[in-house]
Homo-oligomer: A and B are copies of this chain.
Amino acid sequence: MMKTSAAVNHTVLEDNAQVKVTDKFWLNYMELIRTEMLPYQWRVLNDLEDIEIAKERDADYIPSEKSHAIENFKIAAGRSQGHHYGMVFQDSDVYKWLEAAAYTLARVPEDKKLREAADSVVELIAAAQEDDGYLGTYFTVEAPKRKFKRLYQSHELYCAGHFIEAAVAYHKATGNQLVLDTACRLADCLDRHFGPEEHKIHGYDGHEEIELALFRLYETVGNKRYLELGRYFLYQRGKDPDFFRKQCRADADTSVLIEGMEGFKDSYYQNHKPILEQETAEGHAVRVMYMCTGMAMLARLKNDGKMRQAARRLWKNITEKRMYITGAVGSTVIGEAFTADYDLPNDSMYGETCASVGLMFFAHNMLKDEAGHGAYADVMERALYNTVLSGMALDGRHFFYVNPLEVVPELSRKDPGKSHIKTTRQAWFGCACCPPNLARLISSLDEYIYSTADDTIYVDLYVGSDAELSLADKKVALSMTSQFPWEGNVELTTKTDGRYGIALRIPSWAKNYKIAINGSVVHEEKQDGYVTLRRNWHKDDRVTLEIPMEATLYQATPEVREDIGRLAVQRGPLVYCAESIDNGDGLERIRLVDGMEFTYEYSDELFSGAGILHTDAVREAKGNSLYSPYGKPRSLHRQELKLIPYYCWGNRGENEMMVWLYHK
């Protein structure tokens, strides 16, 4: 079926789809999150983790003295005495934990300990909610008079959004009604305070998140007021770039809620112009991603063509001009922000884990709005297997916030402009966004595998799974096994008789592919990145897809200054990199040569199982003088080059790393 650019009829996936991940590669991460990360985070949130030990483990990292996040709720609930401690958005740590716990419990309902912790936190949150539905421990405890009065920094709606997302997920996983009621009371409270009516606040939060959360709540409970409120927040954004300043002037209390943010421009908050007029991704990258996710959801839920066009425009700007080959976004640490088209420095970038998680949200929701457009799934895959995975150590307890494409430890120490480039992953502690964001993404990966439209199932990610999916007029079950990301062999088995389409995604990196049904090769044409097999399917029909994975050299468009004369290596969905532990210090003196061939070797030993690339390159000798006339023959020596998957870097101690290798 040729996809048109108009939205098609959608089935609400969350309500009806049942997908269970069976994939070894991903179950390993999901179990790490269940057995290591969530218990660890729980101890941190409850101030049970030993700070001194954490400091010792990561000498370079100065954690907050404590989290206090659960204690803040206890104080707000009147069950404990004291002051709020931590960031004004400290609550969101708890919500993101709860959301990850929800997805985990959906997969492993028998994890009693986790269920008990989660139930108890739901009960505590409900107790901390005020009578009018307001929820936010900082303002309840410390500054009740400033509620909604400093929205550019308060993160009140941001936190509300995270709670609502957690509530939707926890309700779905466990049927817990209290959490959903609490979320609806909170949404009702926001609805009473915000909107176009004269007596309401004509504004929005400094950090987007509430929009997409309200849409999820609407999809769960069907209350159109939530849909309209989310829509209002999106459309109101940037209509009056002075809104935040006016709020600050009107606030009798002049103290700021977060230090060091006074210098940020309107565009940091995507507040510089109305949302439909924003043609480029500007400002804080995570904010942009959450805004765009909301835009894509609204386009689908209200079939809003203008919003769809605006979302597509930002999508194109981000993915065609402002995204790293690893799916990282955010070119500067200052404001953790986008900068300009094609400005993609490798060694001073930000590339926050959360921003790539957000990019996956955006891509996923573009797919939900326009299933079967390969570019969305390509980017989702790129972000997932590279930057998102890179965010977590193989032990599940150490994390990168910043995901650079090039690291020289000496420069991280000596160049203050690179001090944010950490060379090894750090323990999660105190206030943190990326680790729990990563946890909720990976724990809910089942939602990202398939999309549906009309009578077609689109396989967007090749993650082994058992699925029951709803099409326009029927329910369909199928199972998938996959050797991704190491080999491009996938097998789908239908579990349901009937006529429907199965659309297999052919990733943009695929040079060729072979599809067979019950052993017979078929030749349907690829359209927009998918091959759709429309058949009268029978139970246990077997569809096999073979995509040869070859190590391939990639170049960037010549407008990307930082990548001129450099090449990156990708094999399948995985971007590779060189580390100096394998290749010697001074990676900048290694040169790729034309005609090189890669050998691929999978080892169960390395990185809990990983495929490694080897090739022959050359290394340029150190020079004799800083500047010399060009033309003398260079001193080159043969160099065996070993490349590892990008997401594995930094797991063997501090060393140099490089993705874009120099070409002779």
Chain A residues at the B interface, C-beta cutoff of 8 Å: 319-321, 323, 325, 331-335, 337, 339-340, 343, 347-348, 410-411, 414-417, 552-561, 564-565, 567-568, 586, 588-589, 620-631, 634, 662-663
> Given A343-B411, A626-B323, do A335 and B554 touch, yes or no (CB 8 Å)?
no
Residues of B within 8 A of A634 (CB): 558
Name 5 extra pairs, CB < 8 A, besides A559-B623, A560-B626.
Answer: A323-B626, A337-B416, A553-B631, A554-B627, A557-B628
Q: Are B626 and A339 in contact (CB under 8 A)?
A: no
B residues within 8 A CB of A662? 564-565
Q: Are A414 and B348 in contact (CB under 8 A)?
A: no
Q: Which one, B321, B325, B334, B414, contacts A339 given CB within 8 A?
A: B414
A-B contact pairs, 18 of them (CB 8 A): A323-B626, A325-B627, A332-B416, A337-B416, A339-B411, A340-B415, A348-B417, A553-B630, A553-B631, A554-B629, A556-B627, A557-B622, A557-B624, A557-B626, A557-B628, A558-B623, A558-B634, A559-B623
Task: Determine the residue in chain B with the shortest Cβ distance to A561.
Answer: B588
Chain B residue contacts of A559, Cβ below 8 A: 586, 588-589, 622-623
A564 to B333, CA, bound (A): 25
Please indicate the chain B residues that have their CB under 8 angstroms from the CB of A325 in the complex.
Answer: 627
Residue of B nearest to A621 (CB): B558
Q: How many protomers of this protein does the assembly include?
A: 2
B415 near A417 with CB under 8 A, answer: no
Q: Which residues of B contact A320 (CB under 8 A)?
A: 625-626
Residues of B within 8 A of A411 (CB): 339-340, 343
CB < 8 Å neighbour of A630 from B323, B555, B630: B555
- Whether the pair A555, B627 counts as a contact (CB closer than 8 A) is yes
Q: A623-B558, A626-B560 are in contact. Are A415 and B553 (CB under 8 A)?
A: no
CA distance A627 to B378 in the complex (A): 12
Q: Which residues of B contact A343 (CB under 8 A)?
A: 411, 414-415
Are the C-beta atoms of A626 and B588 separated by less than 8 Å?
no
A551: shortest Cβ distance to chain B, in Å? 11
Which of B319, B332, B564 is close to A417, meaning CB atoms less than 8 Å apart?
B332
Q: Across the interface, do A628 and B586 meet the contact criterion of CB distance under 8 Å?
A: no
Q: What B residues does A629 contact at CB under 8 A?
A: 552-555
How distant is A233 from chain B, measured CB to nearest CB, in Å? Answer: 26
Give the residues in chain B near A323, CB-CB below 8 Å. 626
Inter-subunit contact A417/B414 (CB<8 Å): no
Q: How far is B417's CA from A337's CA once the two chains are assembled, in angstroms?
A: 11
Instruction: Pick the most buried of A340, A557, A662: most chain B CB atoms within 10 A of its CB.
Output: A557
Question: Separation in Å of the A661 CB from the closest CB of chain B?
Answer: 11
B334 near A417 (CB under 8 angstroms)?
Answer: yes
Name the residue of chain B whose CB is nearest to the CB of A322.
B626
| A621 contact set on B, CB distance < 8 A | 558
Please determine whether A620 and B335 come into contact, CB atoms closer than 8 angstroms: no
Closest to A410 in B: B340
For residue A558, which residues in chain B have a CB less than 8 angstroms away from its CB?
Answer: 588-589, 620-623, 634
Given that A410-B340, A559-B586 are contacting pairs, would A331 and B415 also be in contact in the complex, using a CB cutoff of 8 Å? yes
A93: min CB distance to chain B, Å: 27
Q: How far is the CA of A348 from the CA of B621 in the complex (A)?
A: 27
Considering the complex, give the chain B residue whose CB is closest to the CB of A348.
Answer: B417
Question: Could you say which residues of chain B place their CB within 8 Å of the CB of A630?
Answer: 552-555, 567
A632 nearest CB across to chain B (Å): 9
Compute how far the CA of A343 lies from the CA of B408 in the bound complex, rounded to whole angstroms: 10
Shortest beta-carbon distance from A141 to chain B in Å? 31
> Contact between A564 and B552 (Cβ–Cβ < 8 Å)?
no
**Given A561-B588, A565-B565: A415 touches B555 (CB 8 Å cut-off):** no
Give the residue name and chain of the B residue nearest to A589 (CB): B558
